[in-house]
């Protein structure tokens, strides 16, 4: 009896196209489009930093030679893109009773079973990518077990910035702390520009912020105090910053729940930038994908020994990156 998966519909190219079309059902950072995909052909990327020299240009009489531009110093940093494989299996029981000679709908049914498995696998890759992206926003990219993949502050030789908000003190000038955050980010854009500042908060930080006396007082007359009685966890603006509660978490392979933002913390970052944030994706380690442009996800299938099912292999090779870690600010409640 022929293997139903031995058709072009289940080739590596077809499955890879299918898994990349399936909807991503997890990821606030994905929905924000903060770190767009930038595919590369290699397993390693080079980040070039150039300290641009900006100076005021003097006025000169007509006909005078122009001032000569001065170049900044360049430095190169190399990053190896992480490899994240994940395997699953389609067992004979899942296609039992589906195949029939001469049927025109069998392949569609088997394709549905395959799509269901691919969707489950995609969801796991999606939450893993969210975890990596959140690490890039905090300046320290962590693996699933909590170990450090890249400390961007060390890589770029800068010190992390933490601004205490002291939300437990009713007399704290919260707006002044927000201004400090904005000023720090603006000073560290270094030739970039932004359209605003966003802050993802742990539930504890968000509750302390929205319950602070001065924050409540600032909003008690705005739209008849609507912000004080409605659910504003999806985001509200205070002091020029959009604060949003973020509850992202996932279990590692040992079943340990890991929160993407620690209790009592929040992380502010600029939005609307040009090249500060990106997600680099490398090609898979298949013969067919050597020297090709990387894709967000890859999928492949292979029959098991003695025909006892079909192995599914998926992999992603992503590296979320913040090229200016100086714009990242940790807020402490």
Token digits of residue 161: 């910035």
In this predicted model, what pLDDT tens digit does every residue of 289-316 receive, in sequence order? 998 999 999 999 998 888 888 899 999 9
* Model pLDDT, residue 169: 95
**Mean pLDDT score across all residues of the chain:** 86
Q: How confident is the model at residue 224 (pLDDT cuts 50, 70, 90)?
A: low
Q: Report the alpha-carbon distance of residue 14 to residue 115 in Å, rounded.
A: 11
pLDDT band at 87 (very low <50, low <70, confident <90, very high): very high
pLDDT, mean of residues 171-197: 94
Q: Give 203-217 pLDDT, tens digit per residue.
A: 999 999 999 999 988
Predicted confidence band of residue 71 (pLDDT cuts 50, 70, 90): low
Task: For residue 23, count other CB atoms closer than 10 A to its CB.
Answer: 9
pLDDT at position 52 is: 45
**Which residues touch 74 (CB under 8 Å, ≥6 apart)?**
48, 49, 50
Which of 324, 280, 250 lies closest to 27, judged by CA? 250
Q: What is the arrangement of strands in the sheet containing 196-201, beginning at the earlier edge strand?
A: 161-164, 329-332, 265-271, 196-201, 241-245, 236-238
The pLDDT, as a whole number, for residue 68 is 64
Strand locations in 84-157, DSSP E?
84-90, 140-142, 148-151
Does 1 have pLDDT greater than 50?
Answer: no
pLDDT average, residue stretch 49-60:
54
Structural domains of the chain in order of their starting residue, each with its CATH number: 8-49+76-332 (3.90.1690.10)
Share of the chain above pLDDT 70, in %: 86
DSSP state of 225: G
Q: Give the model's pLDDT for residue 205.
A: 97
pLDDT tens digits, 230-283: 788 888 899 999 999 999 999 887 888 889 999 999 999 999 999 899 999 999
Element spanning 261, H or E = none
């Amino acid at each position: 009896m022929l293997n139903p998966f031995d058709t072009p519909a289940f080739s590596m190219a077809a499955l890879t196209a299918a898994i990349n079309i399936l909807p991503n059902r997890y990821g606030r950072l994905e929905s924000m489009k903060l770190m767009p995909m930038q595919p590369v052909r290699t397993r390693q990327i080079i980040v070039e930093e150039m300290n641009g020299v900006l100076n005021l240009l003097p006025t000169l009489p007509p006909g005078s030679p122009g001032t000569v531009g001065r170049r900044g110093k360049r430095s190169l940093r190399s990053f190896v893109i992480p490899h994240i494989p994940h395997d699953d299996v389609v067992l004979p029981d899942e296609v039992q009773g589906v195949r029939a000679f001469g049927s025109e709908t069998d392949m569609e049914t088997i394709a549905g079973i395959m799509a269901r498995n691919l969707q489950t696998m995609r969801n796991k890759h999606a939450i893993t990518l969210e975890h990596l992206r959140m690490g890039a926003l905090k300046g320290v990219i962590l693996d699933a077990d909590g170990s450090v993949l890249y400390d961007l502050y060390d890589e770029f030789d800068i010190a992390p910035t933490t601004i205490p908000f002291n939300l437990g003190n009713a007399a704290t000038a919260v707006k002044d702390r927000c201004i400090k955050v904005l000023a720090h980010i603006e000073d560290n854009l270094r030739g970039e520009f932004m359209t605003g500042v966003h802050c993802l908060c742990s539930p504890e930080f968000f509750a302390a912020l929205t319950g602070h006396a001065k924050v409540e007082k600032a909003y008690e007359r705005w739209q008849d105090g609507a912000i004080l009685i409605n659910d504003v966890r999806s985001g509200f603006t205070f002091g020029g910053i959009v604060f949003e509660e973020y509850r992202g978490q996932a279990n590692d392979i040992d079943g340990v729940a890991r929160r993407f933002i620690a209790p009592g913390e929040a992380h502010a970052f600029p939005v609307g930038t040009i090249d500060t944030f990106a997600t680099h994706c490398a090609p898979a380690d298949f013969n067919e994908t050597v020297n090709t442009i990387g894709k967000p996800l890859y999928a492949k299938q292979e029959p098991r020994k003695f025909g006892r099912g079909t192995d599914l292999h998926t992999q992603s090779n992503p590296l979320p990156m913040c090229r200016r870690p100086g714009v990242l600010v940790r807020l402490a409640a």
